Structure 1
Amino acid sequence: MEFKHYRGKIRRFYLSHFRKDYIEDQLKKRKGNCNMCGRCCRLGYRCIYLTDDNVCSVYQRYRWLRPVQCAAFPIDPKDMGEMDNPQCGFYFEN
């Protein structure tokens, strides 16, 4: 795992559990939709909920199982910078 991914996971965990106000503000700036590329599920290591087809097995049916930081990803432009060659359907307006 690259250091930036490790640092990013800690940052997202902290923000999603202790800075919910920040998350709410950032999500107002986030535009677009998830295009199910699965890149966010492979930052540093492969998520246990990611299927062989790169689909989140809990995204629709078992939403309550999704970690809070996953549901909020990308929280801010820093998260976009962690993905190599991002194809994410989300973006942030300045």
Structure 2
Amino acid sequence: MPHTPEAKAKTIARVRRIKGQAEALERAIEAGTECAPLLQQIVALRGAANGLMSEVMESYLQESFASQSPATHGCDPDEQDAKISEILKIVRRYFK
């Protein structure tokens, strides 16, 4: 999770936007909105949740691997950074 006040505020703002999207979806359902616009809102909500998941996962990976010395993994710092970057690329692709 984000540990700096700025990162924490950014993450909370993102969660609040997702909450707003969920509330808008609920209102649309209650109003009897047609399926196509509902599906569009659901896709946007899922994308926002996946973006949040990706961000938290990235933070977790950085904390987990960066806190250990590269020697623990049998590689130099540049190689460790490259491995972290590769994992993050895979995670981002998965959540798209």
Q: Which has the larger share of helix?
A: 2
Q: Which has the larger share of strand?
A: 1
Normalising by structure 2, what TM-score? 0.27
Normalising by structure 1, what TM-score? 0.27
Higher relative CO (CA 8 A, sep ≥ 6), structure 1 or 2?
Answer: 1
